[in-house]
Structure 1
Amino acid sequence: MSSSHRNLVHRHAQSILSGKTRPLAPGETCLYSYYEPSLTSGLHHVKVSQTIEAPADPRDSDQNTQKDAIEAIEQAFIATAPRFSLQPGAVDSVFPKPGTQAEHTVLPHIVLTDPHLPWSRSPSAAHLPPDEDEKTDRSRTTWLALMVFSIEELQMGQADIDDIMRYVPNDSGAKREQSETGALRMMARDTPKLNGAITTTAFNKIVDAKDAAEPTDVVVMPGQLFTALFTEPGGDGSRLNVASYKHMAHVRHIGTDGMANAGSKDDDALFSIVISRRTGLIDSDLPTPLVVHLLSLVFDEKMPVPTVNDRVAMTSLHSWTYTCLPSQNIAGKFELLTNLGQDLNVLRTGDNAQPEPFVSGDASQDLSIVDLIEARKADGYTLSPTRTVTGEVTAALLRGPLVPRRVKRPLRDGFTMQSNHGSDLAIFDNKLGLLDITYSSAWQLGKKLAMADEPFCAALARLRSAVHSRGLDGSKQEIHALFGDDGHERRTKTADSMIDLVQGLVDINASLHASGGAATSLARTRWHAAALMLAMSDKRGVMHEYNIAASPDYAYIYSWILNKVHLANVPANYLIPDPLSLPQETLRFFFIDDNWIDALIDGALSLANHWGYTPDMDKSRIAIKLAINERLRTPDESLGGWHALMPRYGFLLRSQLLVQFPDIVVEAVFSETRSGPISKTGGNSGSQTPANTPPKQPILVQKGLAPDTMYCLFDAAPPDLRRIILRMPPHQQCFKIGQKLTNEKLAVTWKKLYTTTEGPSTAQPGDTLGSTDFEPTGKPAPVFDWSLRTLDPESFATFLVNRQREGREKEFSDEEPTSAVLGLQLNNPILELDIGDVFVKQQ
């Protein structure tokens, strides 16, 4: 278990304007305290004057310069910026995402595509300290504030809504009901018409004329709550003050290489981020819906300070909802990752105990029924209800393609996964007296998936007909050749056929023991030759993903089967027959049972069987599978002389981490050399890559089965697969007030920050300066208000800077708190779970 983060550097806006910034290195993010535009919104005047000078005439004895002055021209204009609502595309992302869940310590934030937007306007001077502009050039107060509310704080009865909207015209598009975020929708020009409420945002008929018909959202809150949120922390509440919100917004300069959306615009990008001061509910034992609003801090200078009985209407420019997870008995993502790393096991039902494997057919074992059942459970089996052919309901053994141990392929000599109805693939367990329906159910599933795919059925019917026709033509040629006039030719062909017969017997024996797992054990015949002709590409080689097949039907069949080999569209209840094998907050490893895949493919290819009344007589099906196996076993030059990548190992993850972070990063580390070559020949002799040295292997499949469940498939199993790393996604990070928040304390771990571009050589990701426990009494500093669940940004940032400077003046030279430093501290670290050789022991 480790914690890491990208290199983060904080600077102030002057470095941007001066052009002294250096290019970002890969993985770096640069933070700026603010990014004030050159021209803020509002009324501006441009004054232009011109003076023309001409040299004096040489004949003029006075030698005076002639000057003509043009009267100055003054032009007034209005610089516009959003005020009542945001432009489309202004929001890049929010966290938590709408409709998702988050821990109660999370401070929601919004990422805006315009880096100037939070500073494009300024709050009224009446609501800022008198010396605000003279204090520093490192911070600027924003006109936007992100705020979290509970539903009860904004909810109103219909009578109250009708009373407030009494004077708002009905034809203005106003809705006399609250939205899901507790807002009232109306035109911007109608906001002064709200009845019985103090409106914070004044509407100027001249300056705001163009926005008069713009729809806007208004939230109405109790005056007591408004006063507590927008007056100076610790003051008497007699004067509105929004200066503390300057610490809750900053700008991030990021490199966009490898990003699908942001990377399409430029090599790097600037985003502004606004963070909420409020957290979720503290010490709650139930999930709670919360509402987040992006509020305007441009208050009317003439508005009075609300009293307890007043209602206050504020302009909301953007809003969404999410669910706050209960803080009691709920683990955070650090604890979730830690628990996953401590509870590694293979996919099986029952507890973590691993009984000794039961060897079928071993008469020396005298086990009880309970021991036999436990042994089967250790092999990944579960009991499932099934019906006999006569209709009785009975129990049967069942497991899916994901198994806790390697399974021999084929199961025994002479056993082939080829059937016309699937029921003959069931295996009777004479020890337990139960039927193992694993492979018969896989066969039936393959047939159902094929029947549900109309193009597949049509392509298979055409391909079968083509193989049968070509095979029949070859048979006719051989028969007619026997009756030719040249007897010597007949004897020659007879001798050649004897050689083919012997070779066919050799092929039968070889196919029975093939490690690559041929789909059938029957010899190659003229039907196989016909199928191979259809499987050829336009370059006269075996068709694969990089060329064009001679038969489009074969190409479709091959692609469909390859998808099923990678478990595409296989229902989750077949992958995990027993939900008890994958409890909540678990990570389970598994092998792939190739016999199950063989049964699935055979069931799909059994359709359109018009000639083979027994499985061994279905020559077309046998030929198609042999042709596909020929491709899968042929070393591929494009893969460094290796075969097509096939899934052999994987893991299932079920955790609330996937709900909060759907793009969780999975990284697989493979050994430099494989334990042995896949093919008998050791790979392609023409390849420059040694047979046991694979190229860089990707994750074959990474797919979600449910919002909290995901599985990954790899082409190698331990020991070739050395490590698996689970990492929190860098673009889905969040801000948290601290590591632990209860009614008794707030625990904050201080990151080790630097004001230099490059930290010391001894700096390591995850370095900290220890932690501090803050109490509701205000000790050691009043950084958090437990009754309002709000952070005091000024006090917290001051305490942070002092803590960073203790004995580290050279590494951290700032004496003044800024939003960039606060953003670095609140930014949740990128955690990762590194699973090394420990999971190899779970085989």
Structure 2
Amino acid sequence: MSPSPPHPARDTIPVGDIELHDNYLPALPAGDHRVEVTHTLWTGGGKTFTAVQRFTVRGPQVAIDTAAVVAKQPPDASSGLYAEVLPHLVLGDPMLPWERAVRGAPAGTPWLALLVLTDDQLVGGTTAPTRTITGTVGDFLAGDPAVLKPELAVEADIGDTDPCAYIQVAATEFHAVAPRLEELRFWTHCRGANTGDRAILGLKEDGLFAVVVANRFPATAGSTAATKNIVHLVSLEGHEKILVDDPDFQGRTSVALLSLASWSFWAYPDRQADFADLAEGLTRTPDGDQAGRDEMWLRLASPYQDTDGTPAPRRQVARRLNDGYLPLPYLTRSGEATYAWYRGPLTPVLPVATAQAARATTADALIGYDPAWGTFDMSLATAFETGRALAVADAAFAQHLLELKHAARHLVDTLYHQATSTHLPQDGDGPDTARAAFGLLLGGDLLTALGTPPARPTAPWSPPAPAAPPADPTQALDDFLRSDATREALTGALADGDGLKEHLTPVARWLGRLMLLHPVPFTHLVPDERLLPQESLRFFHVDPSWLDALVSGAFSIGAQSSRDTLQDQIVADAVRSAAARTAAAHRDTLRGDTSGDPDAATGAPTEAGDGLGPVTGLLLRSALVSGWPNLAVRAAAPDGTPLPVLRMDHLAPTVLLCLFGGLPAMVELREPQEGFRFGVEDHGVIPLRNMLPPDSPTGRRLGEQLGADVTFPVLDHLRTGTGGRVLDIGSLIPALTAALETAHGTTLGPIGPADLAMQMVKVPEAVHFTGPDGDRR
């Protein structure tokens, strides 16, 4: 996949909006090129000199990177009501469909097309789910009297032994479903979208995408049974001659096409497993009832009631479970097998922060014990040991942390010797180092004094008496470490480029990721599968004390004495503050956002309480995650202000974790903007949308529906004489143009690929969770 050119789409387009463009053309298409220069000397008989330089612009030709495919709709291996949906594929490289020239077609014609096929239309490839045939480029291009091969000029950097995948389509079926050469440009367009509300999937996302749409609606059996549909992204390069109304297949019975991507899905005549049904299923209990707000939190349902009439032991269990705890087996150090309560960092209740978690130096100091019930609470102790284990397991971080601690120790030693030296003034007005003191001597009459004969001493000389050592050196150093001056010096050095900052930066980055729970095992977050069953959505708060204990454990490695422990406590506040700022900027850093101060994340704390603030989030376990990998998730404060997304990651193919900076009043799950579906509404019509700019007399936004009753019958414009429902662009575009001009009351001009996409797009579906009572819509 070629790198996408820089584009401000992801930051300039508001979240929820999209830009549509007809295409994104390269300055020079891929392929073999030559530059010829001719120079004629008019003197000497008009002699001509010619130089030729050949070169190749590399671009995908027989295969594309799998990472180039951002989304497929309908999702791979899914099933649902897809009969009125045009399948499409989203590419992360917005220029890819136009990188190669198509012979006999104007600029802006893509070399790719999306074919929707059924098993009976394909030949061979019976061992693959999508009927692809794997082989080499030489195998694909080898002559075959029964198969029409493309007239493909293979680039110089592609060899006969290079691997490729291809399909064979029956010749009559290819003619029935393949777009005509003049239709190709209408089925591919470029789209811009803000990518700030979806997971980072390893792409260098700049907000631009290419979308290739099929020209055929999926096949359905017309009964309760599902019909398998196979979709292939194929190269049409070399097949231009048969993309006409009356093609000559040269007596061949099938056509070979390079398959660059493929997937399959099942189309039902009734509603099953589409976005709306999956999203609605998240709001229901296993019994099918509407879930209440209490049932959407990350916790187990309690078998007991927390009421006055419940026996005290059962009421205690109900309270613990309602607070997000789980009883887990626990073996005490004395060998007794019992149980202990455990709650991870994701809690259903707003936890009360405790300062002890940030000051702890051992896990034992964080073990909770309830003498009334004789039970242990191992939550914070587990967090401490988790942080310590993760730090020890990461050799690079351990090295950076030890270097920071050694540098801080050296600085403290220097400051202490300066403070206790008898050779330097203690009033703070003189030099603070021996070198500086000697430098002052050189600035006086030292050379003159050295040239003068020494005078005979008049009094006997005696060496100066050394300063009396402190009665308790350990206590003296302890007092020095606890002094405000030492704290200020250490904090300043952590923010100073010439001090400890270079050691702080890698430590703060690692701890910042730790505060976002990146390396924490999933079993520590969700210790029981019943907390997050299949097809469920659970909300939570993030326990700041659990995070403090986690960081304390990681920061505790390398402490060998009480002096190290005290020094760590002094430095820890500044390190935690820097780590919190790094965590807050972590997602922007991954997305390449350099608009902020690059040094701000690891500088000194700017104010008291500098940190992440309250963190909340959600866990989604659903086919929505695998079916819509770029699922958009947004959260808003009570005043409607969007909350920052601190982390959004796929923990598993069907599990999505989102962390928000703040407490949301509304959370929305929405189909991604670049993954909009195309198709028709009920009865085969589409609502017509405004194509005039906002400053037009209508005052409508671009793309806004013109009215509930202003529609256009798309299914009236299908190819005749074909078994599948294939759209006829030659009939569709003129009729659609006339209908739009009538609805707008003015001439609009020619309809392009972006205009067609805007009219054919189906409004993305979404589910909202709002209000204090857990209202959903």
1:447 corresponds to: 388
Change in CA separation of 1:154 and 1:244 when aligned onto 2, cut-off 3 Å: same
2:72 corresponds to: 96
Determine whether 1:543 maps to 2:494: yes
- Contact 2:542 2:615 (C-alpha < 8 Å) held by counterparts: yes
Structure 1 Cα separation of the partners of residues 531 and 357 of structure 2: 29
Deviation at 1:380, TM superposition (A): 0.7
Q: Deviations over 1:119-146 (max 9, x none)?
A: 74238xxxxxxxxxxxxx9x99877543
Change in CA separation of 1:456 and 1:790 when aligned onto 2, cut-off 3 Å: same
Change in CA separation of 1:178 and 1:84 when aligned onto 2, cut-off 3 Å: farther
Matches within 5 A, 1:236-385: 242=180, 245-246=183-184, 248-252=186-190, 274-280=212-218, 282=220, 290-296=231-237, 297-299=239-241, 304=248, 311-316=253-258, 318-324=259-265, 327=268, 330-336=272-278, 347-350=297-300, 367=311, 369-385=313-329
Matches within 5 A, 1:43-62: none
Change in CA separation of 1:468 and 1:306 when aligned onto 2, cut-off 3 Å: closer
Q: Deviations over 1:236-272 (max 9, x none)?
A: xxxxx936835743554869999999x999x999x97
Deviation at 1:452, TM superposition (A): 1.0
1:628 corresponds to: 572
Q: Deviations over 1:711-758 (max 9, x none)?
A: 3334433xxx5555555544x324422357xxxxx6554242325675
565-574 or 400-409, which moves further after superposition?
Answer: 565-574
Match of 1:659 among 603, 608, 626: 626
Change in CA separation of 1:592 and 1:525 when aligned onto 2, cut-off 3 Å: farther
Matches within 5 A, 1:689-838: 698-717=644-663, 721-724=664-667, 726=669, 728-730=671-673, 732-738=674-680, 748-754=685-691, 760-763=698-701, 767=705, 769-770=707-708, 788=724, 790-794=726-730, 797=733, 800-801=736-737, 804=740, 807-810=743-746, 813=748, 819-829=753-763, 836-838=770-772
3-state SS in 2 of match to 1:451: helix
Matches within 5 A, 1:138-149: 145-149=113-117
Deviation at 1:220, TM superposition (A): 1.9
Change in CA separation of 1:212 and 1:661 when aligned onto 2, cut-off 3 Å: closer
Structure 2 Cα separation of the partners of residues 212 and 714 of structure 1: 47
Structure 1 Cα separation of the partners of residues 156 and 396 of structure 2: 57
Deviation at 1:406, TM superposition (A): 1.9
Determine whether 1:646 maps to 2:612: yes
Deviation at 1:422, TM superposition (A): 3.0
Q: Which amino acid aligns with 1:573?
A: T
Identity %: 17
- Contact 2:687 2:712 (C-alpha < 8 Å) held by counterparts: no
- Contact 1:184 1:219 (C-alpha < 8 Å) held by counterparts: no
1:408 corresponds to: 352
Structure 1 Cα separation of the partners of residues 195 and 662 of structure 2: 30
Change in CA separation of 1:739 and 1:838 when aligned onto 2, cut-off 3 Å: farther
- Contact 2:87 2:677 (C-alpha < 8 Å) held by counterparts: yes
Structure 1 Cα separation of the partners of residues 617 and 207 of structure 2: 36
Structure 2 Cα separation of the partners of residues 446 and 209 of structure 1: 53
- Contact 1:106 1:280 (C-alpha < 8 Å) held by counterparts: yes
Change in CA separation of 1:656 and 1:749 when aligned onto 2, cut-off 3 Å: farther
C-alpha RMSD of matched pairs (Å): 6.2
- Contact 1:91 1:110 (C-alpha < 8 Å) held by counterparts: no
Q: Deviations over 1:361-393 (max 9, x none)?
A: xxx885355443332221011232333446665
3-state SS in 2 of match to 1:541: helix
Q: Deviations over 1:98-119 (max 9, x none)?
A: 9956674352246662786687
Deviation at 1:656, TM superposition (A): 3.6
Structure 2 Cα separation of the partners of residues 424 and 272 of structure 1: 53
Structure 1 Cα separation of the partners of residues 309 and 574 of structure 2: 41
Aligned residues: 643
Structure 1 Cα separation of the partners of residues 67 and 660 of structure 2: 37
Determine whether 1:225 maps to 2:207: no
1:581 corresponds to: 531
Change in CA separation of 1:588 and 1:370 when aligned onto 2, cut-off 3 Å: same
Q: Deviations over 1:28-59 (max 9, x none)?
A: 745449999999x99xxxxxxxxxxxxxxxxx
Structure 2 Cα separation of the partners of residues 660 and 585 of structure 1: 13
Structure 1 Cα separation of the partners of residues 718 and 130 of structure 2: 36
1:51 corresponds to: none
Change in CA separation of 1:573 and 1:771 when aligned onto 2, cut-off 3 Å: farther
3-state SS in 2 of match to 1:705: strand
- Contact 2:279 2:767 (C-alpha < 8 Å) held by counterparts: yes
Determine whether 1:199 maps to 2:148: yes
3-state SS in 2 of match to 1:650: strand
Q: Which amino acid aligns with 1:319?
A: L
Change in CA separation of 1:451 and 1:248 when aligned onto 2, cut-off 3 Å: same
1:595 corresponds to: 545
- Contact 1:748 1:773 (C-alpha < 8 Å) held by counterparts: yes
Structure 1 gaps of 5+ residues are 1-23, 43-77, 124-136, 162-176, 231-240, 359-363, 481-488, 502-523, 612-617, 674-694, 741-745
Structure 1 Cα separation of the partners of residues 24 and 503 of structure 2: 61
Structure 2 Cα separation of the partners of residues 573 and 589 of structure 1: 17
Determine whether 1:121 maps to 2:103: yes
1:614 corresponds to: none
Determine whether 1:529 maps to 2:482: yes
3-state SS in 2 of match to 1:543: helix
Change in CA separation of 1:365 and 1:728 when aligned onto 2, cut-off 3 Å: same
3-state SS in 2 of match to 1:753: coil
Q: Which amino acid aligns with 1:293?
A: V
- Contact 1:218 1:313 (C-alpha < 8 Å) held by counterparts: no
Change in CA separation of 1:477 and 1:292 when aligned onto 2, cut-off 3 Å: closer
1:108 corresponds to: 88
Structure 1 Cα separation of the partners of residues 633 and 327 of structure 2: 33
- Contact 2:123 2:167 (C-alpha < 8 Å) held by counterparts: no
Structure 2 Cα separation of the partners of residues 552 and 34 of structure 1: 43
3-state SS in 2 of match to 1:396: strand
3-state SS in 1 of match to 2:572: helix
> Based on CA coordinates, which of the two structures has the bigger radius of gyration?
1
Deviation at 1:670, TM superposition (A): 4.8
Q: Deviations over 1:202-239 (max 9, x none)?
A: 58xxx999999777865322345235335xxxxxxxxx
Match of 2:379 among 438, 441, 448: 438
Change in CA separation of 1:555 and 1:242 when aligned onto 2, cut-off 3 Å: closer
Structure 2 Cα separation of the partners of residues 532 and 325 of structure 1: 71
3-state SS in 1 of match to 2:352: coil
- Contact 1:723 1:836 (C-alpha < 8 Å) held by counterparts: yes
Change in CA separation of 1:790 and 1:115 when aligned onto 2, cut-off 3 Å: closer
Deviation at 1:426, TM superposition (A): 4.0
- Contact 2:228 2:267 (C-alpha < 8 Å) held by counterparts: yes
Deviation at 1:397, TM superposition (A): 2.1
Structure 2 Cα separation of the partners of residues 556 and 144 of structure 1: 45
Change in CA separation of 1:474 and 1:779 when aligned onto 2, cut-off 3 Å: closer
Change in CA separation of 1:457 and 1:831 when aligned onto 2, cut-off 3 Å: same
2:453 corresponds to: none
Deviation at 1:292, TM superposition (A): 3.2
Structure 2 Cα separation of the partners of residues 462 and 33 of structure 1: 53
Give me the TM-score of the superposition, normalised by structure 2.
Answer: 0.63
